[in-house]
C-alpha cells in the first residue's frame, strides 16, 4: 500500500469515526459495517480509535476544556460537525500533545524481538542490556528498546521481568511501568495480574487513562485487572514466588490441582488411576517441572504407588489396588 493510499484510508476512518459518534449513527451502521469489511479498513479504524483513547486529548488541551464546557451546556449529543473536526485533527493533535509519562507504542515501530517458551519450558533470556526475562510455559513476549527504555508486550502467558533502568510493558488492557524493578506479569483470557518483587512499579488500566489513573505497587503487592475493572492492591500469593525455578508452595491444595500445574511441564504426565484421589490434600514446596521426582514425592507423602504407563506417563494409585 502506498503512502497516498494509507493517507486516504486514514481519512476514511476519521470520517467514519466522526459519523458513528454523531446523530444518526445507528442508521449509518449497515454502511459502516460494509465499509470496514474490506481488507485493511478495520485495522485502520481500530488504530485511529486506539490513538484517540490513548492520547486523552479531551483531558489535556485547553481547547478541549473549552469544548467540554461548551458541549456540556447543550442538550443532546454534540453535533456531527464537532466530531468531524475532532476526528480530522486527530493525527495532528496527537503529534502536538504534551509528552505523557505513559508513552504510546507507535504502530509503525513494532517490537523487534519475539521471545517464546513452548509447552513444558521455562526460559530465561536477556533481550537487551540490563533486561532479563523468564518466560513460563506457553508464553510469548515481544521486546524492543527506545532511547534507553525497554518496551515489552506480553501476548500470552506469564513472565518475570528484571529491569535495570526504565521498562514499559503492555499486557492486554494493563500498562505497567517500572524503574530498576522486578515483577511478575501474567495474561490470560479473563484477567491480567502483576506482582511486584522489587523496585519502583506503577500500573494502570490502559484503555481508560482518565478514569483509571495509576496505582503504585510496593514489593509484595499484586494487582489484578478482570472484567475490565482494576482491583485494589492486594498481598501477592507466596506460592508463586519461586515459579521460575519450577517450585510451587501448596497449602491444603487438592492433588488434582497440583497435577494440573505439573502437567503443563515436561513430556511425561502424571495421571490418577482413581479420579477420587484428586481430592487428597497436598501441602509443601514441590518441584512441578520434575515429573518423576514429583510423582515419587507425592506417592511417599500420600501413601500411594507410582507406576509407569505404556505410553511413558506416570500413574498414581492406592497401595494394594
Question: Cα torsion for 27, 29, 34, 39, to the nearest 10°?
Answer: 150
What phi and psi values does residue 190 have, to the nearest 5 degrees? -105, -20
Nearest to 191 by CA among 161, 221, 231, 160: 231
* Domain CATH for 287: 3.55.50.30
Nearest to 283 by CA among 315, 248, 259, 244: 248
Cβ contacts of residue 204 below 8 Å, gap of 6+? 102, 174, 175, 212, 213, 214, 215, 230
- 195 & 227 share domain: yes
Least confident residue range of 85-94, 126-135, 143-152, 164-173: 85-94
Q: Is the pLDDT of residue 210 over 80?
A: no
H or E segment at 194?
Answer: strand 191-205
The pLDDT tens digits for 117-129 are 988 889 999 998 8
* Domain CATH for 165: 2.60.120.1440
The pLDDT tens digits for 238-253 are 777 889 998 888 889 9
DSSP per position, 46-86: HHHHHHHHHHTHHHH-HHHHHHHHHHHTSSSSPPHHHHHHH
Taking the C-alpha atoms of residue 115 and residue 120, their distance in angstroms, rounded to an integer, is 15
- 122 & 234 share domain: yes
Q: Say what the pLDDT of residue 91 is.
A: 44
Taking the C-alpha atoms of residue 223 and residue 192, their distance in angstroms, rounded to an integer, is 8
- 254 & 206 share domain: no
- Single pTM value for the model: 0.61
In a domain? residue 39: yes
By residue range, what is the domain housing residue 252? 246-318
Domains contained in the chain, number: 3
- 180 & 270 share domain: no
- 140 & 23 share domain: no
- Pairwise pLDDT comparison (154 vs 47), residue with the higher score: 154
Domain's final residue, options 191, 224, 239: 239
- 234 & 250 share domain: no
- 183 & 269 share domain: no
In a domain? residue 106: no
Q: Say what the pLDDT of residue 103 is.
A: 43
- CA distances 299 to 84, 263, 268, Å, are 69, 16, 16
Amino acid at each position: 500500500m502506498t503512502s497516498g493510499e494509507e493517507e486516504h484510508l486514514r481519512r476514511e476512518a476519521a470520517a467514519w469515526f466522526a459519523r458513528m459518534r454523531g446523530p444518526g449513527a445507528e442508521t449509518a451502521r449497515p454502511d459502516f459495517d460494509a465499509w470496514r469489511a474490506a481488507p485493511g479498513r478495520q485495522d485502520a479504524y481500530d488504530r485511529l480509535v486506539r490513538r484517540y483513547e490513548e492520547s486523552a486529548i479531551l483531558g489535556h488541551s485547553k481547547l478541549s476544556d473549552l469544548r467540554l464546557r461548551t458541549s456540556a451546556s447543550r442538550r443532546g449529543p454534540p453535533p456531527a460537525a464537532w466530531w468531524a473536526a475532532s476526528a480530522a485533527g486527530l493525527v495532528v493533535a496527537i503529534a502536538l500533545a504534551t509528552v505523557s509519562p505513559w508513552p504510546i507504542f507507535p504502530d509503525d515501530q513494532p517490537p523487534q524481538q519475539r521471545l517464546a517458551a513452548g509447552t513444558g519450558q521455562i526460559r530465561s533470556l536477556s533481550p537487551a542490556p540490563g533486561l532479563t526475562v523468564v518466560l513460563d510455559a506457553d508464553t510469548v513476549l515481544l521486546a524492543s528498546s527506545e532511547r534507553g527504555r525497554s518496551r515489552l508486550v506480553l501476548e500470552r502467558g506469564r513472565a518475570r521481568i528484571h529491569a535495570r533502568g526504565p521498562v514499559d510493558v503492555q499486557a492486554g488492557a494493563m500498562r505497567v511501568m517500572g524503574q530498576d524493578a522486578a515483577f511478575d506479569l501474567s495474561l490470560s483470557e479473563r484477567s491480567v495480574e502483576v506482582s511486584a518483587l522489587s523496585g519502583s512499579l506503577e500500573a494502570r488500566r490502559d484503555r481508560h487513562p482518565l478514569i483509571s489513573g495509576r496505582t503504585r505497587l510496593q514489593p509484595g503487592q499484586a494487582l489484578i485487572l478482570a472484567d475490565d475493572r482494576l482491583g485494589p492492591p492486594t498481598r501477592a500469593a507466596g506460592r508463586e514466588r519461586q515459579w521460575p525455578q519450577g517450585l510451587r508452595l501448596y497449602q491444603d491444595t487438592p492433588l488434582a490441582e497440583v497435577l494440573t500445574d505439573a502437567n503443563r511441564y515436561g513430556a511425561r504426565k502424571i495421571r490418577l488411576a482413581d479420579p477420587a484421589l484428586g481430592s487428597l490434600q497436598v501441602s509443601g514446596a514441590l518441584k512441578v517441572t520434575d515429573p518423576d521426582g514429583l510423582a515419587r514425592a507425592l506417592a511417599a507423602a500420600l501413601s500411594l504407588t507410582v507406576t509407569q504407563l505404556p505410553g511413558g506417563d506416570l500413574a498414581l494409585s492406592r497401595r494394594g489396588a
